[in-house]
Amino acid sequence: MSRHLRIVLVHPPRESDASLRAAALQAGLTEAGYELVASLPADLHLPERIAQLQPDMIIVDAESDARDVLEHIVVATRDERRPIVMFTDDDKTSSMEAALEAGVSAYIVAGLQPERIKPVLNVALARFRKEQKLLHELADTKHKLAERKVIDRAKGVLMARHGISEDQAYQRLRTMAMNKNLKLAEVAQRLLDVEDLLG
Amino acid sequence: MHIEKQAVRIGFNPLTDCASLVMAAVLGLDERHGIRIVLSRESSWAGVRDKLVTGELDAAHALLGMVYGTQLGIGAQRHDMAVLMNLNRNGQAITLSRRLMAQGAVDGPSLAALMQGERRSYVFAQTFPTGTHAMWLYYWLAAHGIDPLRDVRAITVPPSQMVYNLTEGHMDGFCAGEPWGQRAVMDGIGVTVATSQQIWPDHPEKALATSRAFADAHPNTCRALVAAVLEASRWIDASVENRRATAEILTGGGTVATDRAALLPRMLGQYDDGMGRQWQDAHPLCFHQDGAANYPYLSDGIWFMTQFRRWGLLKSHPDYEGTARAVTRLQLYREAAELAGVAVLPHSLRSATLLDGGTWDGADPERYALAFPIRQR
């Protein structure tokens, strides 16, 4: 976690609305040595600016109505997620823990000592990465399982049609895959498609 | 009956349709049922959602679509939710800027014609990506041959900032709850080109939502709450005087940050589109309708899921009916309605004909979702 984190801070759209909370957090981040790449107003250009800047993390005031604009970004970029950290005046640790538990985001209480901001953000990022890794692994496993099913069904078709053993059926699929430079599952799927077509 | 939690913390966003929650507290209907409503004014829908998930709020005034978006994990982490009752029908609007009107866009067809002729980037705002207004806006555009995902740029803007952003020329139009459509007309900034009830007469709008965990752990509290809000809904709809008094309370105490002149007319069903047309609406904002507006129809929830599928927010079909049944507390609603002496409807599906002539009856959501000529492919 030694890499420099590129952070974008989102503040209310009109500068006059910028809360004391936001100012305090900004000071804290700078003091803690973060690279604050931008402090953006939560206006209509926010989604574009974030797409341009590609920050590692977004921090936003939990009480701000900017949250809905951010929600738009989350939904629009839901295939490439990034951690969003909220900060709030609410120091009820229970709600923070619950938020973390839900994997929604991290909550930072305003007025947090600058020296404590860094570990909190690092924990949030680590959690986020771990969660993303688990999600990818889950998707990967699901995908592999689906592939296995297709291959098994294709083997079954070959066995029934040619009266060969499971091992022989597998060898046939494999040879075909190597000759055609395709994945085993793709060859299996093609075979099943043809089977479907011809009945 | 043992009430598990007496003080119920309820979040709301400052809009006309939060009225029944506010009035349940103001009229003391909560106490009659052994609870105390503690209102919490919120500034964003995402904030409401997060606080329901963390338990910081017990229940909330919520966009019906948003509840289903949360249940299905669109955007944020999936979380089990509960709809206790519907809070209102109708009363949202699509507003276009006066600049667009001056160029001839006064309704759907003329907007489509203008966009055909003058090619540029058109920006339209809604209030939440999985919310009701996003779906009304998309539906309305698509019904006029405008693809909301390709032909326009749809953005999210909080309701109270719509008029400001329209004034500044940041966008061409928006869909939001009242009083913001009326405010834009009054300020001479925008014109009302469609009401949401023109898109779907008597459509569902806000719901009283909570997390499934809260509903499971506090059934008696939830029943008391629904009964109190049902009584408040009945009271608001009972007379014009009551509606006036409600408008007074919503604007007087600063619950909704605008003046009574902006909030009252459309609360009474009196519309002025800013283009010289005035009318008394046949399907205005309703809080009760003898219980019809409050009954949480399964088909209402399913409709939002079909639209999420239509617009690619869901990549595959969800278990439409199973999800709606899991989210909607029909049994709890029936019991609460009995407590409040409100008639319960016999069917959990209803039928309606929408703006584009399509009929929605909840029967075949998979087919319905994919039958629209304009959709995400």
Per-position pLDDT tens, chain B of length 377: 799 999 999 999 999 999 999 999 999 999 999 999 999 999 889 889 988 988 889 999 999 999 999 999 997 778 999 999 999 999 999 999 999 999 999 999 999 999 999 999 999 999 999 999 999 999 999 999 999 999 999 999 889 889 999 999 989 999 999 999 999 999 999 999 999 999 999 999 999 999 999 999 999 999 999 999 999 999 999 999 999 999 999 998 778 878 889 999 999 999 999 999 999 999 999 999 999 999 999 999 999 999 999 999 999 999 999 999 999 999 999 999 999 999 998 899 999 999 999 999 999 999 999 999 999 98
Residue B103: give its domain's CATH number. Answer: 3.40.190.10
Q: Give the count of Cβ contacts less than 8 A between chain A and B.
A: 91
Where helices occur in chain B by DSSP H, the ranges are 19-26, 29-32, 45-54, 64-71, 98-102, 108-117, 132-143, 162-167, 180-186, 196-199, 212-217, 219-238, 240-252, 260-267, 298-310, 320-327, 330-340, 365-370
Report the length, in residues, of chain B.
Answer: 377
Calculate how close chain A gets to B165, using CA atoms only, in Å.
9
Q: Which SS3 state, helix, strand or coil, does residue B299 take?
A: helix
Q: In chain B, which residues have their Cβ closer than 8 Å to the Cβ of A13?
A: 161
Pairing of strands B173-177, B122-126: parallel
Looking at residue A27, what is its pLDDT?
A: 75
What's the pLDDT at A69?
79
B288 vs A125, B228, B249, CA distance in Å?
A: 47, 13, 19
**pLDDT tens profile A81-106:** 777 777 766 655 445 555 444 444 55
Alpha-carbon span B37 to B24, nearest angstrom: 8
Alpha carbon distance B160, B125 (integer Å):
12
Q: How far is it, in rounded angstroms, from Cα A191 to Cα A198? A: 11
Residue B268 lies in a domain: no
Residues of B in contact with A71 (CB under 8 A): 44-46, 75-76, 128-129, 156
Phi and psi torsions of B256, nearest 5°: -110, 125
B46 lies in some domain: yes
Helix, strand, coil share (%) of chain B residues, nearest 5: 45, 20, 35
Q: Which residues of A touch B (CB under 8 A)?
A: 13, 43-44, 47, 62-72, 74-76, 78, 86, 90, 92, 94-95, 98-99, 102-105
Which of residues B199, B215, B245 is at a domain's end?
B199
Is residue B254 included in any domain, yes or no? yes
> In chain B, how many domains are there?
2
The residue out of B148, B169, B199 marking a domain boundary is: B199
B80 in the same domain as B47 = yes
Same-domain check for residues B244 and B224: yes
B54:A98 CB<8 A: yes
Nearest chain B residue (CA) to A97: B54
Write out the residue range of the structural domain in which residue B239 sits: 7-89+205-258+286-370
Mean pLDDT taken over chain B? 95
Identify the residue whose tokens are 């409040």.
B340
Please tell me the predicted confidence (pLDDT) of residue A91: 58
Q: Is B373 in a helix, a strand, or coil? A: coil
Tell me how close the Cα of A39 comes to any Cα of chain B, in angstroms.
19
What single letter denotes the amino acid at residue B301? G
Residue-wise pLDDT for B166-207, tens only, equals 999 989 999 999 999 999 999 999 999 999 999 999 999 999
Residues B36, B183 within the same domain: no
The answer to whether residues B192 and B341 belong to one domain is no
DSSP state letters, B124-151: EEES-TTSHHHHHHHHHHHHTT--TTTT
Establish if B187 belongs to a structural domain: yes
> ipTM > 0.85?
no
Whether residue B57 is contained in a domain is answered as: yes
